[in-house]
Amino acid sequence: MLHVDDLRKTLARIDGRGYKAYKDLQGSYAYPQFTLFIDYVQGDPFASPSKIRVRVPSTVAQIPPDLFSSRVRRIALQDFFIRGVHQTIRQVCQGSRGIGKSGMMAIDVGGQEVLERTAMVVTAQWIEARLSLGLPAQGRTVLGRQAEVMLCQEVPKIAERALQWTHVDQDRALAFVDCVDNQEAVRAQLDALGLVAFIADEAMLPRVSGASDRPLSGENAKPFTVPDSLRVSLPIPHPVSQNGMTTQSLTGLGIPKGITLIVGGGYHGKSTVLRALERGVYAHVPDDGREYVVTTEHAAKIRAEDGRRIERVNISGFIDNLPYGQETVRFSTDNASGSTSQAASILEAVEAGATTLLLDEDTSATNFMVRDARMQALVHKEHEPITPFVDRVRELYEQRGVSTVLVMGGCGDYFDVADTVIMMQEYQPVDVTERARRVAREFQTQRTIERTASLAEPDPRIPLRDGLDPSRGHREVKIDAKSVDTIVFGYEVIDVSGIEQLVDVSQTRAVGFALHLASRRFLDGQMGVKAVVQSLVRLLTEAGLDVLDPFCKDGHHPGNFARPRTLEIAAALNRLRTLRVKH
Ligand code: ADP
Ligand code: MG
């Protein structure tokens, strides 16, 4: 290992030379209080930035071990430190220093969700921040002096202020880690209590705007109040304040397994509840407002997604007798309709392990959801390929154990199949289960149930390696996420905008690389989709997210990844247009 003085000397030597001279910096350097690793040096000022790591030994960092004593706490603590580094960079780093990415410094910080990320690693021996950095240039020449300011002044400030326990806000750190711990404790209790989700009293569900995921505040923001009939109380490991008291059990609305309808007038907050449940599969930061909105980890948001590809999915339980005798037992298309896409997405999600479906009328295909008595009279069943969801939703629960939470303000036919009906009224939930039952008895729907055969247990689909080629031109692996909605995979572009529980671009990137990892390790022509994604996620848990980068040298900065769920990885695989499966 070299010394920071060697780094200074190298920078003085290459000052004013061509940009490629920066490559000489690669290596590791001992500073008085930490070690700097320069793992990757960019080829030019516009290329993707250089990758460095700042590692502070625990003798200096002095983080109390209790803060990372479990997997959940460690992930929470890492996330907390990432946010601290992010802020410190904004305070101490000058920012742009010339053309391209010159002068930039960044850490991969998340939004409202707390996710496992490669950007920070806390072990018993050290804490390590993984940063990206734009080495400064004028034209194509090295700005050695500027680089020295970045690496020898700004980086040490970050190491000191953001990675040493004595300098961080300790109360906030503790509260952050305990809060995430509480959230996971709630999640761990759901199944045994017969619940699929929990929304705490006083939760703040609405967001500032469609463009901001921060909580709405001010007098118009109404906190959630739980109707007594649906209130449950769950013990948590760390005290919180709720209803003006400090308590170690949280009260809130428990959404039971089975079929739950969320009804209510337009603009009364139905979709806001569902969106909170969608996001509730992840932990949230303490001031999010939804930190105690907790959903089972196996909940899948399903929406209509016309235009998507479908590869040999047995959708016959929902759709059969298509025009021209097109087969739906192994249905493939490059251009799904609203209803076929929704049917396929449900079956794929269940195949991948979903035990709860989340649906919103706003994003569903009407003809997939309902077919009322008058339409049944006009268009006979033999001319209608669709068995609507209302005729399958109970069967999904009773035969397959798959619960559904459905926002439905426009159709009362679902009263007959619901176990629980929650009405949103001026943003407040009201338990109207009994009223809905009475209505269903008094106003019998005249429609006939259209289930023909029962939902077949589908044959496992076995994805084939051939369909997954990440190469492009001379590059063996070209995978990236352009945004949270788009994965570049070789020559393919996977549109994942319909996978609404992908919440972070680094998660999307991780999904892209996860598909490649799956194809190398698990696509052996034997394993079905569920086995593949489960093996993959097990590997990520055992080996860490660093394994996603196929070229990463042991311990080097692997790039920016955040952990995805099995359901999103499977969903992306299913949307890859070159995917081929065998039965
Ligand atoms: P719906 O699906 O019933 O039509 P939405 O959930 O889309 O209604 O909500 C309508 C509007 O009300 C949105 O702008 C949303 O941000 C806002 N809203 C939702 N819940 C609350 C709340 N608890 N307090 C204040 N505003 C809310
Ligand atoms: Mg809505």
pLDDT tens, residue by residue, 296-325? 999 999 999 999 999 999 999 999 888 887
The pLDDT of residue 458:
78
Residue 309 in contact with ligand 1 by CB distance below 6 A? no
Residue 482: predicted pLDDT: 87
Contact 179, 291 (CB under 8 A): yes
Cα 300 to Cα 280: distance, rounded to the nearest angstrom: 11
Phi then psi for 147, rounded to 5 degrees? -65, -35
Question: How much distance in Å is there from the Cα of 275 to the middle of ligand 2?
Answer: 10
Residue 166 has pLDDT above 90, yes or no: yes
> CA–CA distance from 163 to each of 54, 89, 121, 381, 430 (Å)?
9, 12, 11, 66, 47
Q: Tokens standing for 209?
A: 């705007």
Is the distance from the beta carbon of residue 206 to the nearest atom of ligand 1 less than 6 Å? yes
Give the ligand at the shortest distance from the Cα of 223: 1
Neighbours of 437 (CB within 10 A): 14
> What spacing in Å lies between the alpha carbon of 269 and ligand 2's midpoint?
7
Ligand nearest to the CA of 262: 1
The rounded Å distance from CA 273 to ligand 2 centre is: 9
With cut-offs at 50, 70 and 90, classify the pLDDT of residue 396. very high
Can you tell me the distance from the alpha carbon of 497 to that of 399, in angstroms, rounded to the nearest whole number?
31
> Is 387 close to ligand 1, i.e. is its CB under 6 Å away?
no
- Please choose from 201, 208, 267 the residue to mutate so as to test ligand 1's pocket, defined by most ligand atoms within 8 A of CB: 267
For the Cβ of 268 lying below 6 angstroms from any atom of ligand 1, the answer is yes
**What six digits make up the tokens of 316?**
């016959």
Name the closest-CA residue to atom 5, ligand 1.
269
**Is the predicted pLDDT of residue 485 greater than 90, yes or no?**
yes
What pLDDT band is residue 452 in, cutting at 50, 70 and 90? low
Ligand 1 atom with least separation from CA of 268: 3
CA distance 535 to 527: 10
Find the ligand nearest to 217 CA.
1
Ligand 1 atom 15 nearest Cα = 206
pLDDT tens for 108-139 read 999 999 999 999 999 999 999 999 999 999 99
Question: How far, in Å, CA of 320 to CA of 342, rounded?
Answer: 14
The average pLDDT across 148-153 equals 98
∠ Cα 222 223 227 (to 5°): 110
Give me the percent of the chain exceeding a pLDDT of 90.
Answer: 93
* Cβ of 290 below 6 Å from ligand 1: no
Q: What is the mean pLDDT of the chain?
A: 96
Q: What is the pLDDT of residues 205-248, one digit of tens each?
A: 999 999 999 999 999 999 999 999 999 999 999 999 999 999 99
pLDDT in tens, 338-389: 999 999 999 999 999 999 999 999 999 999 999 999 999 999 888 889 999 9
pLDDT at residue 322, as a whole number:
85
pLDDT digits (tens, 9 = 90+) for 24-66: 999 999 999 999 999 999 999 999 999 999 999 999 999 999 9
Average pLDDT over residues 430-457: 89
Please report the atom of ligand 1 found closest to the CA of residue 427. 23
Strand-pairing partners, residue 338, are none
- Segment 475-486 shows an average pLDDT of 96
Q: Confirm if 116 and 544 have CB atoms less than 8 A apart.
A: no
Segment holding 190, helix H or strand E: helix 170-190
CB of residue 272 inside a 6 A radius of ligand 1 = yes
- What pLDDT is stored for residue 326 in this prediction? 82
pLDDT score, position 445: 87
Q: How far is the CA of 407 from the centre of ligand 2 (A)?
A: 7
Whether the predicted pLDDT of 583 surpasses 90: no
Question: What is the pLDDT, as a whole number, of residue 306?
Answer: 96
Distance 267 CA to ligand 2 centre (A): 7
Indicate which residue's Cα is closest to atom 4 of ligand 1. Answer: 267
397 lines ligand 1 (CB under 6 A): no
* Ligand 1 atom, smallest distance to 424 CA: 3
Whether 548 contacts 561, CB under 8 Å? yes
Atom of ligand 1 nearest to the CA of 266: 4
What single letter denotes the amino acid at residue 577? R
Query: What pLDDT is attached to residue 457?
Result: 76
User: Please, which contacts does 157-161 make with residues 24 or more away whose CB atoms are closer than 8 Å?
Assistant: 157/88, 157/92, 158/54, 158/85, 158/88, 158/89, 158/92, 158/93, 158/129, 158/131, 159/31, 159/33, 159/34, 159/54, 159/56, 159/129, 160/33, 161/88, 161/91, 161/92
